[in-house]
Each structure stands twice: as C-alpha cells, then as structure tokens.
Amino acid sequence: MKQDIHEYLAELEDIPGTRVYTTKRARKGYWVNQFAMSLMTKENRDRWRADEKAYLDEWPMTEEQKQALLDRDYDKLLDLGGNIYFLAKVFSTDRKSYLQAVSTMTGMSEEDYRNMMLSGGRSPEGLRSKSKGY
Amino acid sequence: MAHITAGITSSHVPAIGAAIDLGKTDEDYWKPAFAGFDWTKEWIMKPENKPDVVILVYNDHASAFDMNLIPTFAIGCADEFQPADEGWGPRPVPVVKNHADLAWHIAQSCILDEFDMTIINKMDVDHGLTVPLSLMFGEPEAWPCKIIPLAVNVVTYPPPTGNRCYNLGRAIRDAVESFPEDLKVQVWGTGGMSHQLQGTRAGLINAEWDQKFLDDLSADPERLRTMPHIEYLREAGSEGIELVMWLIMRGALGDKVKELHRHYHVAASNTALGHIVLEPQD
C-alpha cells in the first residue's frame, strides 16, 4: 500500500506550470509564509501599509524574497517557497481577490483570465505531465 | 444513540462567502452558482432531516495553523470558535457552537481506533468551514445546529491518502454510533472540485473528471479511496487535492449510499463548484 517516497516526490515535480508545496519548498519559504501570516491582524496590516520595506526587514528573509514581496510577484514567490494560502494574506491586505492575484501568474490579463474561467476554465489537455506529454 | 443521517459535500470558495456577505448572490455571475443550493436549503430545514450536529471536514487555509504546526487531522473540542480574520476582517457570520461532548468522544474513540487525532481548543475557523455553512443555512442569526470542526492538512505535502481519509470516516461513524445521546449527525466534506491557484496552469478545470468523481461517490467509492494524490493533481489541479476530504464524509456513510441531490457549476472564481447530498442505505 505504501508508496515509495522518492517516486512520490518525483511525480509531484512532473506537472507543468505547478510547484507543489512540498516540505522542501516549505522550508525555503518558512519566513515568507510566517510574514504573510502576520498580516492577519489589523495592527500588523497598518504597520505593513505604512512602510512595507521596514516591516519586511523585521523578518529573516533573503533580499530576493523581500523584493518579490514588494513587487507582488506571486509567481516568483512560489519559486522562493511561498504558498498561495499564506500569500493570500498579502493580496487580501491589498484588497485583491484570489482571481485577481492568481491571474497575474498566467501571463493573461485579469479580464481574459476571468473570461476563460466563465467559458469553462483551462483544459488539462497536454498539461498533465511533463515527461509523458499528455 | 447518535447516528449518521446524511453526508453533504460542497466547495468552499472564499469568493462565495464574499458574494453572500456583500449581497451579490442575485448578480448574473453568481445566480447559477447559488441556485443549486436551493434544494438543499429547503431539505435540510425539514424536521426529519435537520441535523443536531454537523461534523464539518475542511482544511484550514493558513488561518489557525501556520508553518509552526501542521496537524494532519485536527478535531476542534472547545465550546465555540470565532470566524477568522483572513486579511479582510472576519466574515460577519455567527459564532460556531460545538457539541464538545461528542467532539471529545470522537477524539477518544478515534485514538483508540489508532487514528492519532490532534485535539485543538483555541482556533479561529476560516472560509473553509464558514462558506459551506452559509451555502446550506443562508444567513441566520445563529447556526441552526452544533458544528464539530475537523481540519485536514491538504496544504503541505503529503496530505493524508484517500484511503486514510475513508478509513477515518469509518472510525468516526463507529464513534458517533457509540455516543449515548439521541442525535442526528451529518458529515460534510468540503473543498474542491477541480481548481489550480498557481502558475501558468492556473484556472485548470476538468468537468468530465469531476462528474465521474461525483458519480463514484455512490457507484464506485473503491476507485476513489485508492486514487493516488498524483491523479488529483494532474487531473483536477494542484488545489483539487482538497477532494480527499470528501472521502472522510464518504467513509462515514457506510457501504451503500443513495444520491439525493447534485449541483455542478463552472466557474466560481477560479474553481469548479461541486455539491452533493447523500443518504446512507444500511
């Protein structure tokens, strides 16, 4: 019954355009995500809004992670260990919805992305596996 | 004696909560999404169907649990839980009142049954839990039943397997049936269906796969409980993995179930919205 952990983890990396939140990513992005969590109180949101860079400097993150947060570069933040549910605290503080934030990662405009979702979403065809190409 | 009278599943898209809270449910965009819940809203308030307790299986979206603590299965055992502030301020929904006696009983019973549950008392509950309540019960002053929160980790990999979830459902059923108070208990599984919230593959929807998943909750639960995580990810998107939580609901209903109602709508925000009502047959 038990799946081999190495095979399991290798398969997770085989999906196009997808960074599964494995423990490796979680460790890399620990402080990005803990920072994002801190925005769940109004007091911290106010401090963040008042001076984003100063607030970020309180957290032991890499400069690259800090810059990606300042840029709201969610796609890059996923590469740097961020997780969308944590990052949601950042875009919610910006008064942006999931749809607005997620659309920025697709190379599409918000309107085009929204229209794609209304006409049935993105087909999985050709996007299931990098190695098998289906 | 307490017994399990029905199982319900529903997506828990945060934008649905926002649409309800901001009075947008009559807008063209949202109307078809909400229409599929009208049947359930009427059904669930009939005296013969109305639950005394709902065991509500959901995932916390980095609200109560940060990266410091990642329990696979956590059961809420306090008397009440407040709606979480997810960055917009808390949703204006009632406080969640628990049936703490039953929750503690389930925790004890499951641990003896070799499911090592995490017990949590101080916990705010996020959209994963409150959106399904709003969909089924509307906007009451107080929720019409007690609610036992059961949070499942589907964020940090690996989440529990489908088989583990299904078997936990069975253990919950045994626990409920050994509780002396006469209670109607429903188990709700939430999250899904197909959706991906990241990268160039964001917006993935697989209606055919979703419908087969809905079919097999009654027709072939064996296929679902043995489905590996990679299939959810490839076919239903990275966040489609939430569907393993539906199998806790399914495991709690016993071998045979009857489908009473189904609703499927694309799209609610980034997500394929799925909803089903099942009744145990044995």
Q: Of the candidates B99, B98, B253, which has an alpha carbon nearest to the alpha carbon of residue B173?
A: B253
- The letter for the amino acid at A45 is R
pLDDT of amino acid B73:
98
Could you tell me if A54 lies within 8 Å of chain B, comparing CB atoms?
A: no
Could you tell me if A21 lies within 8 Å of chain B, comparing CB atoms?
A: yes
Count of C-beta atoms within a 10 Å radius of residue A50: 9
> In the annotation, is B261 catalytic?
no
Q: Which residues contact B52 (CB under 8 A, 6 or more apart)?
A: B99, B145, B146, B183, B184, B185
**How long a stretch of residues is chain B?**
282
Could you tell me if B163 lies within 8 Å of chain A, comparing CB atoms?
A: yes
Count of C-beta atoms within a 10 Å radius of residue A39: 24
Whether residues B269 and A99 touch (CB distance < 8 A) is answered with: yes
Q: In this structure, are residues A128 and B235 in contact, taking their beta carbons and an 8 Å threshold? A: yes
Q: Does A108 score more than 90 pLDDT?
A: yes
Distance from the Cα of B124 to chain A's closest Cα (Å) equals: 11
Which stretch of DSSP H or E encloses residue B118? strand B118-120
Residue of B nearest to A21 (CA): B156
ipTM summary value: 0.96
**Cis bond leading into A40, ω under 30°?**
no
Per-residue pLDDT of chain B (282 residues; tens, 9 = 90+): 999 999 999 999 999 999 999 999 999 999 999 999 999 999 999 999 999 999 999 999 999 999 999 999 999 999 999 999 988 889 999 999 999 999 999 999 999 999 999 999 999 999 999 999 999 999 999 999 999 999 999 999 999 999 999 999 999 999 999 999 999 999 999 999 999 999 999 999 999 999 999 999 999 999 999 999 999 999 999 999 999 999 999 999 999 999 999 999 999 999 999 999 999 997
> In the annotation, is B229 catalytic?
no
Distance from the Cα of A131 to chain B's closest Cα (Å) equals: 12
Residue of B nearest to A108 (CA): B200
- N- to C-terminal Cα distance for chain B? 16
d(CA A94, CA B151): 27
Whether residues B238 and A15 touch (CB distance < 8 A) is answered with: yes
For chain A, give the mean pLDDT: 96
Q: What confidence tens digit (pLDDT) does each residue in A54-94 have?
A: 999 999 999 999 999 999 999 999 999 999 999 999 999 99
Distance from the Cα of B195 to chain A's closest Cα (Å) equals: 9
Catalytic residue among B127, B263, B265, B275: B127
